[in-house]
Amino acid sequence: MSANISSVNGRAEFASALRPAWWDAASEYVLPEVPTSADMITAAHLDWEVEMACCRDEKGKALADYCFTRRQDTGTVLGCGMTSDYRVVQNKEAFSFLDSLLQDGVMRYESAGALDGGRTVWALARMPSVDEIAEGDNSLRYNLFLNSHDAGGSLFIIPTSVRVVCANTARIATKGQRGIRHTGDMDYKLNQAKLMLSQYDAQFTLFRDNARKLASMKWSSEAAKAYITTLFPEVEKDGKAKTIREKKIQEVRDALRADRQTLPSIKGTWWPLYNAVSEAVDHGNIFRTTGKGVQRAERKFANIAFGNGADFKQQAFDLALSMAV
């Protein structure tokens, strides 16, 4: 099991529907079907709550400016240094929020889990729409709920599009998205987030139409070279920088040769070329991640979800659109 996934008494706090997620979890954590929220909470072992307490002075008086959060089941301190106006968002609230996005029908969950002892919790919910990009290549509509139980993190609700044939996720329409701070009226903030998500349906449709354009346009070797050179500028002098660039480009080449990028309906088009870049970002070493163990895994996850990696994938997508003529 990857070091970033929380484990309590030998029990991993993670579950994924149908296939492993990007951290390549063992098959024992993969569910045979896409579950409802109640089933996913149980399967991922997220049925625990977080409590908040404030430190006390020598007289026993609570210090409102020195509070901390901890898990009720294990007593593990998850974060400290927050003030008394910090608002805990429980795990079950994340699933309730995502469930509320569907007025009719049942929300289904692709994956859910906890990182670093429960300091970060996520749920990836599948929307009912299925967008066909090309024959045999579909795109699903998802919402990612990423919540932090420590003092330094925020709450993120991000619409994403996930390819059926790959665990890779592509960020859409999230430029400028900012996390929700755990202070103030959280019910109001979550309701506002719900209103914003309801407007993303048109954005998903736009992404589908643009993806179909990429899947219908063939690239030439000259255009592909120009595309890669723009994303990975040439280095004149031999040395470390040139070697790093060559390794990055090789990762894109390897991803492009994968079976999922050579389907007859899309082979040789801009769509798999873009996806090869996207997968190299998510699964390779296009962006260097510092740290070790839990810290490194969490930083990589944040990077590909809404950091530099997400920005680079958006750049690659926009560039492919502009060149696919």
pLDDT of residue 92: 94
pLDDT tier, 170 (very low <50, low <70, confident <90, very high otherwise): very low
More confident residue, 67 or 284: 67
30-34, 176-180, 213-217, 229-233: least confidently modelled range: 176-180
Beta carbons within 10 angstroms of residue 30's beta carbon: 16
Number of H helices, E strands in the chain: 9, 12
Whether the predicted pLDDT of 321 surpasses 80: yes
Whether the predicted pLDDT of 294 surpasses 60: no
Residue (of 22, 19, 23, 12) closest to 34 by Cα position:
19
Q: How many residues does the chain have?
A: 325
Residue with tokens 């509070």, as numbered in its chain? 67
Whether the predicted pLDDT of 16 surpasses 80: yes
Q: Summarize pLDDT for 226-274 with one digit per residue, the tens.
A: 999 999 999 888 889 999 999 999 999 999 999 989 999 999 999 999 9
pLDDT of residue 255: 93
The arithmetic mean of pLDDT across residues 59-63, rounded, is 79
Average pLDDT in the chain: 81
Strand partners, 180: 155
DSSP secondary structure letters along 3-16: TTB-EETTEE-EEE
Residue 168 CA to residue 266 CA, distance in Å, equals 17
Whether the predicted pLDDT of 168 surpasses 60: no
Q: What percent of the chain stands above pLDDT 90?
A: 33
130-134, 150-154, 285-289: least confidently modelled range: 150-154
Whether the predicted pLDDT of 283 surpasses 70: yes
Residue 33 CA to residue 43 CA, distance in Å, equals 12
207-237 as b/e: b if 16+ CB within 10 A: bbebbbbbbebebeeebeeebbeebbeeeee
Residue (of 202, 106, 198, 193) closest to 156 by Cα position:
193
Q: pTM for this structure?
A: 0.66
**Contacts (Cβ under 8 Å, ≥6 apart) of 143:** 98, 101, 124, 125, 127, 157, 158, 159, 160, 197
